[in-house]
Structure 1
Amino acid sequence: MPISFGSYLLWLATIAILFCASIAIRRIWFHPLSRFPGPKLWAATRVPYIISLLRGTLNQKMADFHAKYGDVVRLAPNELSFGCEEAWRDIYMYRPGHKETKKDARWYLAPRNAPQNIVTTTDIHVRARMRRLLAPSFNDQSLSKQSPVLEHYAELVLERLKSIVERRPKGQDSITINMLNWINFYTMDIIGDLALGESFHCLDSSTYHPWVTTLYTFFKGMIIASAARFFWITSLLIEHMVPKDIAEKQKYHTDFTNAKVAQRLEMKTERPDLITPFLRDMENSPEKMSLGEIQSTFAIILVAGSETTATTLLACLFELASNPDVQEKLYRIVKRKFSVESQITVSSTADMPYLDAVINEALRLCYPVPGGLPRLVVEDGDTYAGHFVPGGTAISIRPYVVFRSPKYFAKNLSFVPERWLPPSERPLEYANDRLSACQPFSVGPTNCIGKPLAWAEMRILLTKIIWNFKLAMSKEKPFTWEDQHMMMVVEKSDLYLQVSKRV
């Protein structure tokens, strides 16, 4: 008797269900990672991970999972999440007798088939070569020469804000300002000046340059493409997985950056920026970077060097406005240190412990890259945070979890800069805080090369803002950090603050 078409489809569906069920059963109970705790559905398939990632809820899910299951959580068929301080050392730092973990290539491919760069390359030797060539651009000597550039743009921000405050309606002490715009203008003009030879003129025009509006889209496209690589079907269709508008903005972003970098390389100048020391060092070095590598690297520096700094500055302003006692304490310190505003410079703000404490605490609670830094276990497997993990397993530390852990920080969800003060000045309540658990610039050979520049940008602008203005949250336009969309990075939302002039 012939089998009907409907029966044939039912038979195929049954086979498919049994096949998928057998895979799920093996992954949950018979996989090498089966001994690690975690949600069973996530162990069976990568699908809930991807859904949570694209919805922007993955970080809170990770916090919930670690609270329930402990320091090490299995969150996908072949991935472990670490929520403990020891993972910083074991995963990211050099350990004698151990091989270095490699970056997970699914997350670190340069977009649009661009050459690999200092951030995306998974080749340890290529990364080391690039870091050696770029190191002179980010050392103390270069930062000293770049300081007038930072000071110029910080002063431009203050001029614009002062002008807005002066135009407030009569009878009002304050005016509502969207601080997100001015923070973005500031960081983008600086990185444009230092990396491309000219700013984006956002502060001059008080508007966004078209390229600046592509920043988060650039990250978003990379994340969507990375998510697609987890499944063989979607990995084949990866070019079609990224929405058309995002792909177009990525192309504009890449084409504009490549043209501007090439233009800067042709300039015969000794201007104090990131390119001058890089070119000088490369000219005298047997190691070289190709034009494609240089363009790709400075494209990622433009994004990473502005977006994360802007997010941290936004966090600082949000926390200072939300915690008026902290804001007033910082103001009193600033007023004691400086008698006139012109004394506020990059060098003079470098030794202000309470200012640094405010920034460190903002980084702890409002980290701009909460999704972590994915790595792959070496071929033969290795031990991480006391657990042997098979080779090829995806692993990472979860900053969102570790930075907020009650195991390491008293009053872990409260904004308390005092916990970062020197031991002699730190309140007893926070004497046992494990500050080393918070590593916002990462550690080891892949730590952030631009850390000194980022700190200088943040210190001088925050000091100038607090010197001049009193900040308060807007009741009409509320803002909550957790309500922002977070994939691997934070998609910043408008931050409207009530700004009044200091008397």
Structure 2
Amino acid sequence: MTTIKMIPAAAEVILKLRNDTKDKVMRRINSKTDRKDFMSHFLRQTNESGISHDEMVSNAGLFIVAGSETSATLLSGMTYYLLKNPEYLAKLKEEIRSSFNGVEDMTFAKEIKLPYLQACIEEGLRIYSPVPVELPRRTPPEGAVINGELIPGNTSVGVSHFCCFHSAKNFKDPDSYRPERWLGDPAYANDDLNGVQPFSMGARNCIGKNLAYAEIRSMICRLLWNFDIELCPESADWKDQKVYFLWEKSPLMVKLTART
């Protein structure tokens, strides 16, 4: 937060988000409703674990950002790279349109069984990771040995997703969108696919991982079932972006034509 304070515009936006979140959390606490939602779990922990209102606000703010911006980023990036590679788009569209009888036939259980869709999503997460920076962890007080090096205790450590996912040491054609690398293509046999961990690993990995996969599968299936899409000329270089903690995205201009 110290760094954010040095950027007045960013600090102003974050303060507004926190105030709006606090207002919503307090209204939910005071509503006394029996509705089952994220907040009902927080409220139960208030009695069992003593979670404070400030902690509720902090976590609610995290859910708002993590549960919306990341999914929107992946959908945008994946759409762009598919449009820049029409042969992959055509193959994915064929898989989706041959697997269902209509939108009403689409379920999470059926969507998860589409191998090419899953490969396109995994490659989207690799080449355009929604959180391209490191997700830091802190070493224990006694320190830890990481990659053969002794790291002092209470040290913040992490691996940059962008650097790892775009390293030629880990991937052939690292800056190219290639879903086949996730389908056993011999040309990519030496790729270190286990190095792609956009949701982090272990007990503290992203709790919304399964929801994110279900969400993106559902959106892509419905988009490509209902529409033919093409990239507008003004977005030809859309991927040329600045990145801080998240990508600084410009509008992705796409032409949608209703399927006949």
User: TM-score, normalised to structure 2's length?
Assistant: 0.90
Provide the rounded CA distance (Å) in 1 between the counterparts of 2:213 and 2:28: 25
Q: Secondary structure at the match of 2:71?
A: helix
Greater Rg over alpha carbons, structure: 1
Shift of 1:269: 4.2
**Which of 338, 351, 372 is equivalent to 2:100?**
338
Provide the rounded CA distance (Å) in 2 between the counterparts of 1:277 and 1:355: 33
Does the aligned pair in 1 maintain the 2:42–2:51 contact within 8 Å? no
Letter of the structure 2 residue corresponding to residue 485 of structure 1:
K
Matches within 5 A, 1:276-315: 276-279=40-43, 281-282=44-45, 286-315=48-77
Matched, 1:385 2:124: no
Matched, 1:500 2:257: yes
5+ residue gaps in structure 1? 1-221, 228-238
5+ residue gaps in structure 2? none
Shift of 1:391: 4.0
Letter of the structure 2 residue corresponding to residue 328 of structure 1:
A
Question: For each residue in 1:57-95, what CA deviation from the matched residue of structure 2 results, as whole angstroms up to 9, or x when unmatched?
Answer: xxxxxxxxxxxxxxxxxxxxxxxxxxxxxxxxxxxxxxx
Which stretch of structure 1 is more off in the superposition, 440-449 or 249-258?
249-258
Letter of the structure 2 residue corresponding to residue 476 of structure 1:
E
The share of aligned pairs that are identical, in percent, is 36
**Which of 443, 459, 468 is equivalent to 2:201?**
443
Q: How many residues align?
A: 260
Shift of 1:242: 3.3
Q: 1:39 matched to which residue of 2?
A: none
Does the aligned pair in 2 maintain the 1:320–1:471 contact within 8 Å? no
Provide the rounded CA distance (Å) in 2 between the counterparts of 1:344 and 1:270: 31
Matched, 1:453 2:211: yes
Whose RCO is larger (CA < 8 A, sep 6+)? 1
Q: For residues 376 and 276 of structure 1, do their structure 2 counterparts lie closer, same or farther at Cα, with a shift above 3 Å needed?
A: closer
Matched, 1:476 2:234: yes
Q: 1:489 matched to which residue of 2?
A: 246
Matches within 5 A, 1:348-363: 348-363=110-125
Does the aligned pair in 2 maintain the 1:375–1:394 contact within 8 Å? yes
**Which of 232, 239, 242 is equivalent to 2:7?**
242
Shift of 1:360: 0.9
Note the aligned Cα RMSD (angstroms): 2.2
**Which of 187, 193, 201 is equivalent to 1:429?**
187
Provide the rounded CA distance (Å) in 2 between the counterparts of 1:403 and 1:248: 33
Matches within 5 A, 1:53-72: none
Shift of 1:492: 1.8
Provide the rounded CA distance (Å) in 2 between the counterparts of 1:360 and 1:464: 18
Provide the rounded CA distance (Å) in 2 between the counterparts of 1:353 and 1:270: 40
Provide the rounded CA distance (Å) in 2 between the counterparts of 1:386 and 1:500: 55
Provide the rounded CA distance (Å) in 2 between the counterparts of 1:248 and 1:401: 30
Shift of 1:457: 1.4
Does the aligned pair in 2 maintain the 1:334–1:467 contact within 8 Å? yes
Provide the rounded CA distance (Å) in 2 between the counterparts of 1:340 and 1:381: 55
Provide the rounded CA distance (Å) in 2 between the counterparts of 1:494 and 1:265: 37
Letter of the structure 1 residue corresponding to residue 242 of structure 2:
H
Does the aligned pair in 2 maintain the 1:383–1:389 contact within 8 Å? yes
Shift of 1:314: 0.8
